[in-house]
Structure 1
Amino acid sequence: MSKSLSADTSDSGVKNSIPRLNDRNWPDWCSKMQYQLDKEGTLWTIIKVPEKPTGTGDLPEFSYFLNLGAKPGMPRFIEKWQYDSDKAIRAMLPFLDATRHQEVLIMKEENKTAAEVWNALKERYQKSDDSTNMSLIVDLVQLEIPNGASLKHVQKTFDEHLLHLNKLRSSKITVEQILTSFTMRLAQQAFPSIVDSLSCQTESLKPETVVNRCLESARRSDEIGSDTPRTTLLLGKRKQGKDKCSYCRWTGHNSENCYIKDPSKAPPGSRQKFEDLKAKKEKERSRDPNTKRRKLSAKVQEDE
């Protein structure tokens, strides 16, 4: 009886140590939940037989350990698989947030398997592992033991060091991912939007990809902010397209700064040029039928 009580206490301790799944703790949640499902005897429906048995073929060798009764057969094996698959899904529910809890319930109603539920959670939360691993690596690199440190400080630092190592091991991070994390850390402050965007990618990411994206963004910013003739010409065209004079109908300025309307605003040395342009514009306006009608109407009003 004492052994049974001890086992129950141990299982309860494992359940209490399982965190609620979020964007930053998939490796920890994954390892502890797998341990719990293995203790309950349901992990095999996710790892060994992820798809529902069809009823054909021979029983797998490990079915001997499933307690299928005195006369084990394929129907009994399928029944046991369905029961343990549903049990595994129910075991995950208490350790999910409200949104994911509801999604898993819907998947269960749609007769999704425990493996399908597990893979859906993995796809959803493993996307944020890059940022988590990057934080772990940064913390790991920043740990140091100063000269003359006390035994207590040395022990504490080594404990933190081993804790970070175990977390990185459980995440199964590769050397390429570590190099990518360092590269993203280098670019984080100067290119936060690019780093955040790349962190959400599900495919494998290389350091060269991060570098090229950041350099491309830096080049665009440099071209926009530079005073090269090409950039000045482009910006000048954009500005001209925005302003249009209501007096002379030309673009590049407004009526308040119109050189033809007021030659005194013309740059030095170009006064005569704008006087000629003004005379030309007045001549064109005098030929305009609408202008003649306005002048005739004004003269009639004066005579009256």
Structure 2
Amino acid sequence: MPLAEIPLCVWRKRSRSFVFRGQPIRYWTAGQGEPLLLIHGFPTASWDWHYLWQPLAQRYRVIACDMLGFGDSAKPHKHTYSLLEQADLQQALLANVQAEQPLHIIAHDYGDSVAQELLARHYEGRIEVASCVFLNGGLFPETHRPVLMQKLLLGPLGWIIGRAFSRDALVKSFRQIFGPKTGPSESELDDFWSLIESNHGPRIMHKLISYIPERRLQRDRWVTAMQRDEIPLRVIDGEFDPISGAHMVARYRELIPNADTVLLPGIGHYPQTEAPVQVLKHYLEFRERLVLPPRKVAYS
């Protein structure tokens, strides 16, 4: 049975706002119980989770924001964007909504890197993470295969490429990374573009793309955190994804002890919108068999 979508216009009306380092951030929260933080990817926003939002809110307290530079949050032009700052933002959001720890996380794409930073901080005693599920993302720089647009944004003319980014360019990029039968509709593409275009988003895309080299700098610290094998982890991955598909999962199985992975055949880079029923099924299965250790903070 398909999951009901939340139209973007409704999603936007349900948002709230708080200020992070002088910048307005849009966020959402619903449900009760254990906190579940949803962290979106590049270049989209928290509306990516709209199919899963209500089913998860029936079981947990779900929390999400449009990160700095994304969606309907502030997109300051004269700003150096960083995954580490985005992790700071997530912690500020949790404090703002008074979410008690330990914290469960579902992350996607760019958000995977933010979640990896939060895992590393768990072992440094700076946050308490109970579990983490990764959807398609560059968990290992050596397996990340950026699309042409990302490569161009990283180049010396990235600022020009970003400013020229259009709905047509988004459609071209998305056609490369979605599954052959699960691509977004024209209406969904309009909504994705609306979130990217909001607050003059294209003019900072070349700044946001700095996450790719930043991943390389943090690679060992983040992979070491995942290898500790003290926090339950699972990867739910669209196999067809050319960026972080089956080849990334193969590397994950090589490097991570007791690797818990699920591959979704025919699904691309956005499993939460391409196959939300499957993602929900595999996430709830993960949580149902989850046995939490005694509440404590582990230190490195």
Query: Radius of gyration: which is bigger?
Result: 1
TM-score by length of 1: 0.23
User: Using CA pairs below 8 Å that are at least 6 residues apart, which structure has the higher relative contact order?
Assistant: 2
TM-score by length of 2: 0.23
